[in-house]
Amino acid sequence: MADSVVFLRSMQYFGDQLAAFPLLYQLKQSRPGRSIKVVAHDPIEAYYTNLPWVDEFVQADRLIDKYRAITRKTDLVIALHHSSEQYGALALLRWPALRLGFKNQRVTDFVWNRSWPKDMDEYIGLANLNLLRRAYDFAPEAAAQACMTSIAANAQPSTTRADVVMMPGGGAGQFKRWGVRNYVALADQLKTQLGPDTRFCFVLGPAEVEETAYLQNLARSDFQLLISQPIADIAYVALHSRLIIANDCGPSHLAQNTCRPYVGLFNEPNLEWFWSRDNSASVTPSNGTTDIQSISVDQVFAACQKVLA
């Protein structure tokens, strides 16, 4: 039986799940010795069963199964959904001692005795942590970084550090991908500031076939390619980097939660997926379009200089 039940948002992309990891990590730190049950509508078990902070995963696509996930032993429920009424109704019926949810002008908002106002301009991972802060005292950035450090502890011994990490992917489509040739041109420009011995790591997934082939053909000694590697390896190189540049892709959420200097590239402003900090910058097209290819290398280089200052 679980002491804590966390209802995840109904989203299947890798990045959507990564944004919940710091909350689960911090929940385990704030409630040591208590078990955590994660409940999701979608078949996303593979993202959670290897996390040391998750004791049980339940896929529940029926309301009755979600109801049964909350037991008599459950004293805390967290609902990361911000639009559905059903999670407030479930918490009302089961009435655990601690009920955490987002306030979002819903009929069931009154159910939550620890709440945080939903703001679509707040980074989703930070919003999750701010919700948990209504019940426990901690610093969000420290929690996120500690979460990534915990994940990185399982990196393969062969994983090599790099000065700059680049993430040219974008699983949702080409409209999210600032091209790999732009990244290579940016690498050359960054060397003028960071030094000729600067090393770069490109994080690539199974969807980046063309990008991988292009970089392999370059055969540059200052480039290392991290191709379809575990998240522990990605977290490790990100944590030990001086700078990270990424498209709006799944691994970018690992990068943002390391709290290292970060530049995110977007086809349009998307603040729910960008953690705005003193050492981060978001770059979007400046010509009034949503064409990510219209972003110049000089624009991104200027953003890099800003976050490194």
Q: What is the pLDDT of residue 10?
A: 78
Domain 164-308 has CATH 2.40.50.70: no
d(CA 291, CA 294) in angstroms, rounded, equals 6
At 157, the amino acid letter reads P
**Looking only at Cα atoms, what is the longest distance across the chain?**
63
Q: Pairing relation of β-strands 98-103 and 114-117?
A: parallel
> What CA–CA distance (Å, rounded) separates 89 from 290?
39
- Strand 164-167, strand 114-117: pairing: unpaired
- Judged against a pLDDT cut of 80, whether residue 41 lies above it is answered with yes
| Residue among 271, 295, 298 nearest 283 (CA) | 295
pLDDT tens digits for range 165-197: 999 998 777 888 999 999 999 999 999 999 999
Asked if 177 contacts 169 with a C-beta cutoff of 8 angstroms, the reply is: yes
Helix (H) or strand (E) holding 181: helix 180-194
Other Cβ atoms less than 10 A from the Cβ of 22: the count is 24
The predicted-structure confidence for 262-308, as pLDDT tens digits, reads as follows: 999 999 999 999 999 999 999 999 988 999 999 999 999 999 999 99
Report the pLDDT value the prediction gives residue 174, as an integer from 0 to 100. 84
CA distance 189 to 193: 7
Element (H, E) at 137: none
Nearest to 243 by CA among 169, 304, 198, 153: 304
Q: Which amino acid is at 292?
A: I
Confidence of residue 1 (pLDDT cuts 50, 70, 90): low
pLDDT band of residue 203 (cuts 50, 70, 90) is: very high
Look up the CATH number of domain 4-138.
Answer: 3.40.50.2000
Instruction: Give residues with Cβ within 8 angstroms of 25, minimum separation 6.
Output: 53, 143, 146, 147, 150
DSSP code string of 146-166: HHHHHHHTT--TTPPP-SEEE
| Location of each CATH 3.40.50.2000 domain in the chain | 4-138, 164-308
SS3 content of the chain, % helix, strand, coil (to 5): 40, 15, 40
pLDDT score at 277: 96
Burial degree of 279 (CB within 10 A; 0-12, 13-18, 19+): middle
